[in-house]
Amino acid sequence: MPAGEPPPARHEIRVHAPRAGLVAVIVDGDETVLRRSGSDWVGSVPVGSRYGLRATGRSGDRFDGRRILVDPAATGVWFPDGHRRDHARPDGEPDPATSPLAVATPWPARTSPRATGRPLVVYEAHVRGMTRRRDRNDAGTFAALIDELPRLVELGVSVVELLPVHQFDPDEGNYWGYMPLVFGAVHSGYAAGDDAAQELAALVAAAHRHDIEVWLDVVFNHTTEEDADGPTYNLRGLADADYYVLRPDHSYVDDAGTGNIVDVTSEAAQRLVMAALDRLADLGVDGFRFDLASVLSREPAFVRGIGDWAERRRVRLIAEPWDMVRYQVGRMFPDPRWKQWNDRFRDDVRGFLRGWPGCAA
């Protein structure tokens, strides 16, 4: 949203579900069928409203009209007090009262990245873990992390790399956040108030004032929906075959060790990833470190397309160039413009510092 413009009264939604017979949006118990537009379904909801989706179609395509789904392109997600992950599993009883809902939250005004003028010294940080033991009401949030920046400057840090801040399922049990629910929404649990994206933008702006870049660890290779026994929150219930890599028997390929991998050869998946990157870059983020980036390299043209996008947006790209099947550290990654995490060098340095046998004389 351009700076100075009032927020729109309606929030536009577009849902990719080409094989659905019907997709409806639910706001305050009222259901409205969305309008089909090619492979998508389009409509709008009031700004600030909580809304869910319902999709019907052939059961073989994993549609389940009893379930309330989260918009994959949501700008925010709300979880009711009674939310339970097990309710979204195949053997769970769907309960609309405990289902997470998308929130039609306006996105903050676009800001630009700001490259540091100092040598790159990267400090990897978990938003909650960094300040959770501080004696303050907002411990474990973006706001609390702002007050840590002067100390990081004293340490010589010029880049803060935040572990994943995508919205994840608070009932999933993974402290680290590596099981994303919505790629382009910021995890509400890291906010002191009601607008997590705005609070992340404030952290980025504060870091820039200290000549510190902010990079985000992003996870686009898999989602929190796991395998066929996992919960159905959005992608599986809307366009399973377009978003995930499936075998001929419709089981899930699991090269990430998480139950599924995203099918980056699909235009729908590519659009979802790029929309999330654009949205996060609009917060002023300076770089993106891609978890298990080798999953994305199954479509080399897509990796190069991200490289082109990064040049236009003036952001850095860093690959973790491996997964459970591929190891691409060095020259094998399809775009040399991406920097790479080198795990062997990391392990050697760690071993030397710890005095491990064979690593130190």
One-letter identity of residue 331: R
Verify whether residue 291 is a known catalytic residue: yes
Q: What angle do CA 349, 355, 361 make, to 5 degrees?
A: 95
Spatial CA neighbour of 187 closest among 163, 168, 173: 168
Checking phi first, is residue 45 left (phi over 0); if not, alpha (psi -120 to 50) or beta?
beta
- Determine which helix (DSSP H) or strand (DSSP E) holds 14, and give its type and residue range: strand 10-16
Alpha-carbon dihedral sign for residues 321, 325, 327, 333: negative
Q: Are 181 and 224 in contact (CB under 8 A)?
A: yes
Among residues 282, 291, 323, 335, the one annotated as catalytic is 291
Check 254, 320, 323, 335 and give the catalytic one. 320
CB 249 within 8 A of CB 322: no
Query: How does DSSP classify residue 244?
Result: B
Q: What does each C-alpha distance from 180 to 28, 218, 315 come to in angstroms?
A: 26, 9, 22
Residues paired with 78 in a beta bridge: 101
Q: 């399973």: which residue's tokens? A: 240
Q: Which of 78, 5, 80, 10 is nearest to 42 (CA)?
A: 10
Strand partners, 316: 287
Side chain identity at 316, as an amino acid letter?
A: R
Give the Cα-Cα-Cα angle 35, 237, 43 (nearest 5 degrees).
20
Assess contact for 279 and 107: CB atoms under 8 A.
yes
- Residues with catalytic function: 291, 320
